[in-house]
Amino acid sequence: MKGYLVLSTGEIFEGEWFGSAADCTGEVVFNTGMTGYQEVLSDPSYAGQIITFTYPLIGNYGINERDYESLKPACKGLIVGDLCEMPSHYESGHSLAEIATNYGIGVLSGIDTRAITQIVRTEGEVYGLLTTDRAKLDSFKPQPIGKVVPGVSVKEAQTYNEDAAGPHIALIDFGYKKSILTNLLNGGCKVTVMPYSVTYNEIVALNPDGIFLSNGPGDPKDLTPQLGELKQIVENYPTMGICLGHQLISLMFGCDTERLPYGHRGSNHPVKNVITGKVYLTSQNHGYVVKPESLAVSPLELTFVNVNDKSVEGVRHKTLPISSVQFHPEAHAGPDDTNHLFADFIRQCQATGEKSYA
């Protein structure tokens, strides 16, 4: 079946359609990873977006039951150069096309994804329509997607590893990846996942040893109404934030955020620890970033910087046990160079808990 992509910049692409035949619209973004399409597909941070894979061959090792990052994909659609319909891997249970059909996602194949990437890099914020109806191409009116976190956050508390001997972590869910939860559980923690709208009183009743602010989709300023409660929470517990969680921590302490020209989405982004000078390769997926000049008027200090564009990649509070990073130390997909940050956070929670109970 023929399918079409029309961009808000006016370009039209024609290719082969797979998956759900329903139209979809969303922000068009690109991911530069050579592998990890299953993790990308199921990452809630892509809610409301149409993902373009720059690597030409996608789907060649299929889809397994182990590498999902959420219960169901939140992205709107996929654009690929060459979709493999006959994957080969001992763990593969389905093809990418089959999974797209099962979850109602449209996939357009046979597209020059490098051309789309160049458009997004040049124009910045680009929206698209995926459709099988050519008659709809001329009438497409782009609509920015806003306030997507409520659609990917849990609706009620969920507790894991109830009898763990380690610290109890409250994971505030803005669209968390399963790998974050896995790292905390592997570190011996009891974890309670809480909705994004959690209040300070609810956290106090939970009596955790630490707070974890997850990744998630969208503009961090969409969550401005939550910042007051979140600030009260993190000021009273050891806290770590990732991606959107990092941006929210920065906002609540007086920093500002801005949209990147075309985002960081891929598995090989170098970041530098400004304290040690060591460089790490990281997995990233974000379209917004903390303004570096705004750190000067806040109680936060820079810990990591992006080697390529010098953007803020990590901060920590000057007096409280609060730290955050823009990149993904849990990886999946991507390198786990910075996985030690989970162990550092867990040790901080243990140390603080021991002082509290002494």
Q: Which residues are catalytic?
A: 243, 328, 330
Can you tell me which residue has the tokens 């329903």?
22
- Rounded to 5 degrees, φ, ψ at 271 are -125, 150
- Rounded to 5 degrees, φ, ψ at 5 are -125, 125
Antiparallel, parallel or unpaired: β 239-242 and 57-58:
unpaired
Whether 45 has a binding-site annotation, put simply, is yes
Q: What is the CA radius of gyration of the chain?
A: 20
Task: Identify whether 333 is preceded by a cis peptide bond (ω within 30 of 0).
Answer: yes
Whether 287 has a binding-site annotation, put simply, is yes
Whether 38 has a binding-site annotation, put simply, is no
DSSP for 241-277?
Answer: EETHHHHHHHHHTT--EEEEEEEEEEEEEEEEETTT-
Whether 33 has a binding-site annotation, put simply, is no
Whether 216 has a binding-site annotation, put simply, is yes
Nearest Cα residue to 47 out of 13, 81, 70: 70
Whether 146 has a binding-site annotation, put simply, is no
> How far is it, in rounded angstroms, from Cα 168 to Cα 161?
9
Nearest Cα residue to 147 out of 125, 175, 170: 175
Nearest Cα residue to 29 out of 317, 284, 341: 284
Contact between 226 and 247 (Cβ < 8 Å): no
Binding-site annotation: residue ranges for L-glutamine: 45, 216, 218, 244, 247, 285, 287-288
Binding-site annotation: residue ranges: 45, 216, 218, 244, 247, 285, 287-288
